[in-house]
Structure 1
C-alpha cells in the first residue's frame, strides 16, 4: 500500500468512527423511546413465543392422538403467554394476531410460518437490544483501529525523525576517534577470551560464564545444568574445553583410558557440543555503530568488572580508553550519529532528506496523528 493509500485509509477511519457512533446513538435512541425495560419485556416475550413455535411445530401438526395432545398443550401455552402480556406493550397486537391463527381444531406448518410473520413487528422491537450490542461492538472495533493507526503513526514519525537526524549528520566528522578505541578493545578481548578458553580448565571457564549472570548487560547464555554439574563434580572438569570436546568424539573403549565414566562425559559434553563450540567473546564485545553514550557508559562499567576476571590488564586498559571517549557525551553523540548515518543511510535516503521530502512527510504524519487523536478524544470509550 502506498503512502497516499495509507493516509486515505487513516482518513476513512475518522469517518468510520463517526458513522459507528451515529449508528449506536440511533439504535440507543430507539430503545430510549420505548424504554429499556419495555424493550426487554418485548424481547423476553418474543423469545418465549418463538421458542414455543420451534418446539411444537413438528409435534402439534398432523393427525393422531399424540399430535392432538401436543396441539392442546401448545395452544394453551401460547394463549397464556399472550394473555399475560402488558396491555400497552409495543407489538402486543402482533402476538394476538399470531394467537388468532391457532384458534382452530387442527394446525399445519403454514400456520406456524404465518404466525412467525405476524410476530415480525414485535421481533423488530425485540431485536433492538441485539442491534445495539452489535453497534457498540462495531464502535469499539473502529475505535481500536484508530488506536492502532495512532500507534503506527508514532512509529512512522519516529522513523522519519530518525532519518532527518541522520541526514543532518556531519559525514566528515572524525568518527575514528570513537571507532578506533572500540575496535582495539573488541580485537583484544576476542583474543584474550579465546586464549582463556583454550588454556583454562572447563570448570573455571564455565564458572566465569555463570558468574556473569549477575551482570545484566553482559549477555552470556547460562551453561546447561548437566554440563556445569559434570565439570564441577568430575576430575575431567579440570581439562580444557577443547580436550573435553575431543574426548566426547572418542569411542567408549578409547575414552575409558582418559576418564572414569565415559558415558557420563558423553551425556554432559557431547549433548552440549554446540554450546561449547560457540562460546566466544561476542557477549563482551561492543557494537558498531555504538550504543548511546548513557547506555554504553553503564555497559562499559560492567565489562570492566567482568573482563578483569580473566583478561590481562592491557585489555582492561583498552576498555578504559573506550570509557574515556564516552565521558564527553555531547561529542560522543555527535560522532555516533555520524557513524550511524554512514552505516545506515543510503544515497537515496540522504537525497530525500536534503531535498526536504522527508521533512514534508514528517509534517504530514504529525498532522494525521493529531487528527486521529482528536477523533479518538471526540468519541470516547464506551
Structure 2
C-alpha cells in the first residue's frame, strides 16, 4: 500500500517544523527576538520620519530622527545578531542632510536583518502547519475507523444465512407492535386528555422511552380546565371551532385556543411509536433493556395481553441464536445485491485490509511525530 496522504503530509510538516526550529536554534530564539524587535523599531523610525526628516524644512524632525536612531543602536546588546549592520546604517544616516535615497538605502541595507529575523515567522508558520497536519491526520483516522466499522459490518452480514428463519424473531415483534399500537389508539381516543398527557409526562422517568414530553402550557391547561377531561380527538375538534361556536362548549375559549390550537401537531402525532420495537431489532442486550423500560410505560395504558406480548419479545434476547438471526435479518434488510456481490468476490475483505493498514500507518505517524 502506498503511503497515505495524511501520513505523507504529517511527515512533511514535521520535517519543515524541525528544519525551521534548527534554523532558529542556530542563532538562538531570544537573540532573534531581540533582533526582530530592533529591526521593527528601526523600520518604524524610517517610515515615520521619511517625509519630515529629509531636505532642510524641518530641523527638529531631522534631529529627533538621528537621535532616535543613535539611541536605538547604542542600546543594542552586544550579542544581538547583525549588530554591525544596525551600526553601519546608523553611521550612514548621521549626515548633515538626508534625502529620500538615504532612507531607501537604509531599508536596502537592513534587508539581511529582515531575512534573518524572518526565521521566527517561518517557525511560527511551520508550527501552525504541523498542528493542522496533526489535526487533519486525526480527522482522517476517525474517517478510516468509521469505514473499518462499516466494512466489518458488511463482512459480518455478508456471511449471514439469508435463508435463516428470521420470522422467529419477526413474528413476536410484529405481534407486539400491532397490539401496543392498537392499545395506545384506544387509550388516546377514550381516556381524557389529562390522563393521556400525564401518562406521557411520567414516561420522562425512562430515558429509553422516547415520548416527547407534553408542552408545559398544554399540560397545565388539561390539568386545570374542564375541557381536559375530554379525549384528545374531542380537544382537537374544539381547537378547530370558531370562537363563537367554541363558546358553547368551554368556559374560556381564549385559553383553549392558546394552549391547544398551537399544539395540534403534537397531539395529532401522539402514537405508540416510542414503545414499539424496530425491525431489524437492536442487539440483544439493548433490546432487553428497552423492553424493560417499555413495560413500565405500557402497563399504564394497555392490558395484560399486550404486556405478555412484550415479555415474549424480551424472551427472544435469551435465545442462543438471537445474534445469528438478527444478522440474517440485517443482511436481508440492509445489504444490496451489489454489496453481496462485493462480499462474495472478496472486494470488501481487500478494502478492509487496506483500511486497517491505513489506520495503523496513521496511528504510527501520530505517535512518531507527536513530540515536536
TM-score (norm 1): 0.94
Q: Which residue of 2 aligns with 1:122?
A: 113
Q: Which residue of 2 aligns with 1:31?
A: 24
State the number of aligned residues.
Answer: 372
Q: Which residue of 2 aligns with 1:351?
A: 341
Please state if 1:42 is matched with 2:32. no
Q: Which residue of 1 aligns with 2:325?
A: 335
1:285 Cα shift? 0.8
| Structure 1, 46-55 or 185-194: larger mean CA deviation | 46-55
Please state if 1:216 is matched with 2:207. yes
Cα contact 1:164–1:359 (8 A) shared by 2: yes
**Equivalent of residue 18 in structure 1, options 11, 23, 30:** 11
Q: Which residue of 1 aligns with 2:366?
A: 376
Cα 1:304–1:12 shift into 2, 3 Å: closer
RMSD of aligned residue pairs (Cα, Å) = 1.5
C-alpha separation in 2, matches of 1:21 and 1:302: 52
Q: Which residue of 1 aligns with 2:152?
A: 161
Counterpart mapping for 1:4-15 below 5 A = 11-15=4-8
| Structure 1, 158-167 or 128-137: larger mean CA deviation | 128-137
1:197 Cα shift? 0.4
Can you list the C-alpha shifts for 1:296-334, whole angstroms capped at 9, x where unaligned? 000001111110111111111111111111122x31111
Q: Which residue of 1 aligns with 2:196?
A: 205
Q: Which residue of 2 aligns with 1:191?
A: 182
Q: Which residue of 2 aligns with 1:318?
A: 309
Can you list the C-alpha shifts for 1:205-259, whole angstroms capped at 9, x where unaligned? 0000000000111101010111000000111110111111111111112111111
C-alpha separation in 2, matches of 1:153 and 1:303: 36
Q: Which residue of 2 aligns with 1:367?
A: 357
Q: Which residue of 1 aligns with 2:77?
A: 86
Cα contact 1:140–1:381 (8 A) shared by 2: no
Cα contact 1:92–1:122 (8 A) shared by 2: no
Question: 3-state SS of the aligned residue for 1:310?
Answer: coil
TM-score (norm 2): 0.96
Cα 1:295–1:88 shift into 2, 3 Å: closer
Cα contact 2:193–2:230 (8 A) shared by 1: yes
1:275 Cα shift? 0.5
C-alpha separation in 1, matches of 2:238 and 2:15: 76
Q: Which residue of 2 aligns with 1:226?
A: 217
Specify every segment of 5 or more residues in structure 1 that has no aligned partner in the other structure, as ranges. 1-6
Specify every segment of 5 or more residues in structure 2 that has no aligned partner in the other structure, as ranges. none
1:134 Cα shift? 1.2
C-alpha separation in 1, matches of 2:77 and 2:38: 10
Higher RCO (CA < 8 A, seq sep 6+): 2
Please state if 1:238 is matched with 2:229. yes
Cα contact 2:172–2:313 (8 A) shared by 1: yes
1:112 Cα shift? 1.9
